[in-house]
A and B are shown apart, each in its own frame.
Chain A
Amino acid sequence: MEKMNSLFPSIVSRPQNSGLMNFFVPIISIVLTLITGSIIFVLLGFDPVYALYTFFISPISSTYGISELFVKATPLALIAIGLSYCFKNNIYNIGAEGQLTMGAIFGGGIGILFHDTNAFWLLPLMIFAGAIGGALWGLIPAILKTKFNTNEILTSLMLVYVALFILDYLVVGPWKDPFGYSFPKSRPFSESGRMPLLFDGLRVHFGLIITLFLILVSWFIFSKTIFGFQLKVSGYSPKAARYAGFNQTTLVFFAFAICGAFAGIAGLAEVSGPIGLLYRDISPNYGFTAIIVAFLGRLHPIGIIFASLVIALTYLGAEDAQLFLQIPSAVGFIFQGLVLFYLLGAELLINYKLTYKKLL
């Protein structure tokens, strides 16, 4: 037992961590990810410089590529900023994918209902419905958490699959396109139910403007309002929040509802933007990947913008790598996983140090 104790390192809290490290942690994680990535490429028998170029540079070496980068970064940034309402409050909502899906169903449902209507109010109504759908889906784990003290990590995650099955049912059942040759997809939305494109010939759409606006609003809420302050305090120290008399139940509800609404808008922006209708695979796990974006961006609005671009690049890089290097596109997920791994590792080592002291 004593011998074993000296083998196991234990972690000891560091007295003070420097604010500068907040900035360096994401950078260090990205650098370590690139190094590890190169090693993986070498092991697979590729020239690492060429592979990294294919992965990270060639996707954005054209105007179209840059537009695609923003197309992918838009939902990631929007969901991540929503998630930061929860994470700041120490609520681990990992069900944004489900909230995104529900937003797409609610907003898309309006689009399908008015598929032959062309009116200026259609898109705003769809966006609103998307936000409501996401928020309602987010409120389910909030109610379960505050009333029955369930763990929101589990409930929000399980609700993702419920939402995906509902979407599945709708597009093969009641909402199937009657002229769609039995493909599991809905009718296309009318032109006025689509996100306007920002530039001719490029897919980057109005969702980007909505995202930037909501990031700006969130920055204001986090740094200037008492609501943002309350979220922060109850995240840092629930006891202090209770002492201050902040209503923690209300905070949990708001955090989930806002996060759900943002994810719902992101979902609606996907289906009314690049996709144009409802079908099974509307999101390549944006809701999950946004968790990485939120932490890589240190829950800070500016950080989240940069982090969403970096992670969006792993999506594009994976597609190019598949095309030019014949590597499975899953390599993109490996990069995302590596970033998160190094991020959490660096975070731990900044707040704690390893010692080999005896435990007992």
Chain B
Amino acid sequence: MSDTILNIENITKSFPRVVANKKVTFDIKKNAVHAILGENGAGKSTLVKILYGLLEPDQGNIKLNNKDFKVSSPAEARKQGIGMVFQHFSLFDSLSVKENLILGIDEKMSYSDLEDKLKNISSRYNLPLDLDAPITALSAGEKQRVEIVRILLQDPQILIMDEPTSVLTPQEVESLFVTLNALVKEGRTILYITHKLEEVISICDTVTIMRSGEIIDTSSTSNQTAKTLATKMLGQKLDDLKTNYGHIKDEVNFEVKNISCDFNDPFLTDLKNISFQVKVGEIYGIAGVAGNGQSELMDILTGENINIKSGSIIFDSKNIEKYGPQKRRDLSISFVPENRLGHSAVPELSLSENILLSQFPKNNFIKNGIILKNNVDEFANNVINEFKVITPGNDAKASSLSGGNLQKYVIGREISSKPKILIISHPTWGIDAGAEHSIRESLIELSQNGTSIIVISQDLDELIEITHKISVIYDGNLSEPFKTSEIEIEKLGLLMGGKNE
């Protein structure tokens, strides 16, 4: 009898613009914690969604206990013995723990049966629960416990955990690890999805590293270090680097000083003492794995959130941390947040109307409260022509454009007003290669004309291609900056994985 519980063979899954899993093949051993490690977009989530019946693979086979395993819904997956705890909980906030558990399981069960089973589970796996507490009263760690218990009630052989520690405090992480060890001792298998190197080494037995949809390596964690894992996770990205530093002036024109911000929300990352400086004409990159404080930082840089605990933002020797977005635009600071639909553009409005979301002092769009439609239309047409946006016209709805075209339009709108600073988050997220290339070109050109640019991105290739300096954000902390031309990829990988030696 083999000790393999799950064989994954040649799994391929493509989406319209990307192949998320390319011939993924590896085995998972019974009775172990198996990590899947990779950057955002490496294909981890796609793979576990296939295992849990949320996605169907284009090709390939999966065998569970040497039998063909094919499921088309999570309910079927649970029946076959696979359970999953998601990063975001699916609990009814206003109901009690008990009610949530009863609702969440597939079989019918009386409250008294449930309580008996729960007592057993709670003591065996270090999962204490107050059955009558409403979900709203629970901490993130306790909510996660409810989710784990709900899955355990169905006695799964394999438990998939998706970034389980991302919402937990360090103490809660400790107690989760005790639970995971107890589960493995009982003969269960844990599939542990993460990007944190430290966790892989401390609690996982085997690790599969994914990059761009492919398996890079599957091996025992005992002969790995954080450094070897980081290198495998990121690959070699420094091939043809041609960063040009010539045009940067030795003059800082945007400075963030010791910004801290607490949110009191387990799904938001508190920012801790963030500082950086950007010189005129410089492109400054902020790298990091999603959910480490990027969107929280972006909101503070744009002025959408001005409730910071401490610190300051200085532009042109003015303190601007209390300025809202429009006041910052009045100083010629421009922003492009990550989401196009519903944030930097309104999908229901025309391209022309979308121009009005971002107005700079020299735009002549409004007079006495009345919109000067001709001026707005002309501006929209210029953006469309100059940035080669493919659209029937300026009256087309923003929602009718492809992601790449809309992104070109939004970035074009911001660049056309010749800002002094451009703050942009994930500039090429989810768009086609052609648009990606043209956007990166425009950003480089803009910096050469004297605009300072701050780019927040999870795409390391992108940051290495266009930036002059890179810092890494991890758990709300920003690392010191590194010159892109001299950067060591391992160092970056370690920082992204939360290890700072």
Contact = CB atoms under 8 A, between A and B. Distances in A.
Do the two chains bind?
yes
A236 B326 contact: no
A233 B359 CA distance: 14
Contacts of A179: none
A244 B371 contact: no
Interface residues of A, number: 22
B304 interface: yes
Contact of A240 (B75, B324, B345): B345
A14 interface: no
A353 interface: no
A236 B369 contact: no
Interface stretch (B160-168, B349-357, B467-475): B349-357
B92 to A, nearest CB: 14
B371 A243 contact: no
Contacts of B218: none
Nearest to A19: B397
A244 to B, nearest CB: 4
B343 interface: yes
A360 B324 CA distance: 43
A224 B73 CA distance: 50
Nearest to B353: A229
A243 B353 contact: no
B327 interface: yes
B326 A240 contact: no
B53 to A, nearest CB: 10
Interface string A215-227: 0000000001111
Nearest to A229: B356
B332 interface: no
A117 interface: no
B450 interface: no
Contacts of B337: 243
Contact of A243 (B73, B74, B325): B325
A237 B359 CA distance: 18
B369 A227 contact: yes
B75 A358 contact: yes
A202 to B, nearest CB: 38
B358 A244 contact: yes
B370 A240 contact: no
Contacts of B72: 358
B107 to A, nearest CB: 8
A225 B346 contact: no
B342 A239 contact: yes
Contacts of A236: 342, 346-349
B304 A243 contact: yes
A67 B453 CA distance: 65
Interface string A225-258: 1110100110011011011110100000000000
B371 A240 contact: no
A44 interface: no
B106 interface: yes
B326 A360 contact: no
Nearest to B104: A360
Given A16-B400, A240-B343, 15 more contacts: A2-B106, A16-B399, A224-B370, A226-B370, A229-B371, A233-B349, A236-B342, A237-B342, A237-B347, A239-B342, A240-B344, A243-B335, A243-B337, A243-B357, A244-B356
Interface of B: 72-75, 106, 302-304, 324-327, 329, 335, 337, 339, 342-349, 353, 356-359, 366, 369-371, 399-400
10 nearest CB pairs, A to B: A245-B326, A245-B325, A244-B357, A237-B342, A239-B343, A240-B346, A236-B348, A236-B346, A242-B304, A237-B346
